Chains A and B, each alone.
Chain A
């Protein structure tokens, strides 16, 4: 029996056979894969998962692909780090960082969604993949396409950080830099749609792509000793990741894998310069208003989030909340995480750290609550953001006098 039975519209419930379509014909709502839980549940246990590889594929039974992975065998199972020093700063005694800044191979959580989507792309028989991306998805699709021998067409906004552009080109992908913001890139790709017979990872394969993010949630719970945390703070762009983490925790609970049910409250983090989701939540609005992004947090600068409503539902259902932070705070957040935990995150991580700080100051967490910050991308890719904000090396001649003299100056090290 197959693991996946079909697809269902999240908005109106209409069902469809498994195929590379992504929206409901009746209402344009997002489609989700219907898993065959009767088939899957009996064979999944803590033991069966622990017997799997140290990667996201230890949860293969719970992912919407039939066969083994065709690419990305080593994606996932990233460290869950107890953040003692950052915790002290924020007044949190049980703070953890889920660190996808070191995800293999392209240093962001997007490797999870791409490994899932390209495995499905091969199952559907595609030989060419594509995506519209704010950078991280671009890197990951290009890398996994190279690994799997797919042709790749990558669409990015033309003002992306150098690291994200180079980190796409190096894999030999065709890169199209579109003069416009991400929402315009997305529109173009939607219009191109099926025209060229490519599998757009975030369009054609969206239902499969999205579910790859569930593994971020599975791993947090397994790494905490099969417990769901009290709070998770997640950066939001299109709004998919936050809902899939929550979906993952609830699936584990239904399978009887968790100690404590799912007490988890989900918190959305955005940059003030692109905050359609967090604004809607903070103002208790029914609908979100699309925005024209203006922030250095480019990876999460999506003004018209396709899963915005899903993200809002997730936050509300879980009794969580939302906050946004300015670009100055984003830089401060990157430095704070670096100087307290030795983890260099990109702009999205700066957002998430500072939103966590803000929520802590609002008194939303108990001091002993278990709080997890989702760090989803790597700082080496967005160096422009902190360039000029970190001080500079102290230049000296190679002799002891020069060293002695330099050590007198107050340019050197204040320890945080």
Chain B
């Protein structure tokens, strides 16, 4: 089964306006590298100069925030759905 990655509006310039793209199994880190290979420039938007996820970016694996899982080392398997979402206000 495929792995789908939901792309947020601010990054759709890289994906030719595709809302979702496919990826291979591995980890969040390998996913980001794969996105970078397919859509050059995207990784720098998500990862800061310190190599960490930027503080206003959230990545979810099957609806769970990777900060509650294993961060960038969180494994990704066939059938998982990934979503990349900016932090948003509320209340």
Please report A residues at the B interface, Cβ cutoff 8 Å. Answer: 11, 21-30, 110, 131-134, 136-137, 182-184, 186-187, 189-191, 193-194, 202-203, 206, 209-210, 237-238, 240, 287, 289-290, 292, 299-300, 302, 304, 306-307, 309
Contacts and interface: CB of A to CB of B under 8 A. Distances in A.
Contact of A136 (B8, B55, B91): B91
Interface string B52-91: 0011111010010101100000000000000101111111
26 contacts: A23-B10, A23-B86, A25-B11, A25-B45, A28-B45, A28-B54, A28-B56, A28-B57, A131-B90, A182-B90, A184-B63, A187-B83, A187-B85, A190-B85, A190-B86, A190-B88, A191-B83, A193-B8, A202-B88, A202-B90, A206-B89, A238-B89, A287-B55, A304-B58, A306-B87, A309-B55
A187 B58 contact: yes
Name the interface size band of chain B: 20 to 34
A306 B65 contact: no
Given A187-B83, A193-B8, A307 B89 contact: yes
Contacts, number: 102
A28 B87 contact: yes
A304 B8 CA distance: 18
B76 to A, nearest CB: 18
A184 B67 CA distance: 14
Given A187-B60, A289-B67, A27 B54 contact: yes
Residue of B60, B68, B89 with most partner-chain A CB within 10 A: B89
A132 B55 CA distance: 21
A187 B63 contact: yes
B9 interface: yes
Contact of A304 (B10, B48, B63, B65): B65
Residue of A23, A203, A290, A307 with most partner-chain B CB within 10 A: A23
A191 B85 contact: yes
